[in-house]
Amino acid sequence: MSSTQLTDGMVLSHVAEFAYFPSDRLQDFYAADRVGYVDALNKFIQLVVTSDRIAMSAKPPNDDMGRLKETLGPLVDEAPFAFDLQDALARRAQSFAWLTSNWEQIDALLLAERFTALALAGHVKREFERCFILPEQRRESMASYVDVTEVQTLSPANLNALASEVHSLRSYASTNMDSGALTTWLLRTVTTHYRSFAEYGLFYRHQYTPSGTRSQLPIFTNSPEEQALDTVTRCIAVDVLREAVRSGHRNHLVDVALRWRNTTRAETARAGLADLTDKFAFLDSAGRRELVDDINGILDADKGYPVGLVVGSMQAIRDTISLREAHANRALETPKPLRWLYAFRRPDAVHELFALTDELVRS
């Protein structure tokens, strides 16, 4: 069965900017939202490599997104987004109801979760540049923002933190914006951001990949088995980013991901992930926990583990035992359907994602 995945426009716009922005502009945006760009590239690579199709609007909002869509070619699905509830006004009303009832928890989460707070701060700074700093013809339209009368309030600590992040932008002084106007804009921006997430989380009918600003929200929080699969695909993203670095320029990123998608290595990963997904659906909670432990044990294994294990090579296993390498006994005990994971194992995947992305920005 063919699957189509939708991801936030925020994820795709990060990728388009990363690939096609002039160097000086990207460096400003990247400095303001490093976590957001790394997260978006990671998710985008996962989508390209593991999805049958990626849902995108038939009319790109800007030239960079248009170029991204054109490069992705037949991988793009322009079919209208499918929601369980088709009435847009009813969806909006119900998403506001969910948002209102969960806002205190969201506000508290931003105080407690460093990654979520960083991702939102990056989003806010990037949106400020897009709304007020870019040349007028390239600025972000705020037509889709919630009205001032619809905003949710933030705790003083969260609001002050976001305002401080915007103040830190070199471009902020040029706007002559007073504190009251900035506060209003921040509340509209943050409320709009989470209302949109609520709508997709509640009503989107198919697979949906949100950005890092919502990773810990209860409506989207992944199960342990989904988190285990995310760890696998993060390792795959490192592979692709390494190839992009070797290519010498960040605007090759999309082409590199598409080429990687068609390799035997990618086919192995897709088949293995599909197999794991089916098994998670079949197993009870205890069996799922055991499978998660197996996956994490493999992905955290010591560096230098023989890649031959991925195809069940007995010679590789014998070599491992003769050299008394770590995890040799575990290799013999690993079910053959899981051995493909050894070839994608990246114990330092998070560090590599950031380092490789930094290198591409410098290139």
State pLDDT tens for residues 80-124. Answer: 778 888 898 999 999 999 999 999 999 998 998 888 898 899 889
Position 277 in a domain: no
Position 43 in a domain: yes
Is residue 321 predicted with pLDDT exceeding 70? no
In this structure, the strands spanning 4-7 and 53-55 are parallel
Based on the fold, state whether residues 125 and 174 are members of the same structural domain.
yes
Q: Which domain holds residue 60?
A: 4-81+222-261+351-362
Rg from Cα positions in the chain: 22
Position 294 in a domain: no
> Mean pLDDT over all residues of the chain?
83
> What's the whole-number mean pLDDT along residues 195-206?
82
Based on the fold, state whether residues 226 and 356 are members of the same structural domain.
yes
Question: Which of 189, 214, 239 is the C-terminal boundary of a domain?
Answer: 214
pLDDT attached to residue 165: 92
pLDDT attached to residue 69: 94
> What's the whole-number mean pLDDT along residues 40-50?
90
Position 295 in a domain: no
Q: 224-250 b/e with 16+ CB inside 10 Å = b?
A: ebeebbebbbbbbbbbbbebbbebeeb
State the residue for tokens 């230098």.
304
pLDDT attached to residue 232: 80
Based on the fold, state whether residues 104 and 170 are members of the same structural domain.
yes
Position 141 in a domain: yes
Position 60 in a domain: yes
In this prediction, residue 132 has a pLDDT band, given cuts at 50, 70 and 90, of very high
Look at the chain and report how many structural domains it folds into: 2
In this prediction, residue 308 has a pLDDT band, given cuts at 50, 70 and 90, of very low
State pLDDT tens for residues 181-198. Answer: 999 999 999 999 999 888
111 by Cβ neighbours in 10 Å (0-12 / 13-18 / 19+) ranks as middle
Is residue 237 predicted with pLDDT exceeding 70? yes
Return all residues near 125 (Cβ < 8 A) that are at least 6 apart. Answer: 32, 33, 165, 166, 168, 169
Position 209 in a domain: yes
pLDDT attached to residue 25: 85
Based on the fold, state whether residues 127 and 247 are members of the same structural domain.
no
Position 314 in a domain: no
Return all residues near 292 (Cβ < 8 A) that are at least 6 apart. Answer: 224, 225, 227, 228
Based on the fold, state whether residues 100 and 204 are members of the same structural domain.
yes
Based on the fold, state whether residues 157 and 195 are members of the same structural domain.
yes
Q: 294-307 b/e with 16+ CB inside 10 Å = b?
A: bbbebbebeeebbe
3-class SS at 5?
strand
In this prediction, residue 70 has a pLDDT band, given cuts at 50, 70 and 90, of very high
Based on the fold, state whether residues 67 and 172 are members of the same structural domain.
no
In this prediction, residue 146 has a pLDDT band, given cuts at 50, 70 and 90, of very high
State the residue for tokens 């994971």.
341
Based on the fold, state whether residues 208 and 232 are members of the same structural domain.
no
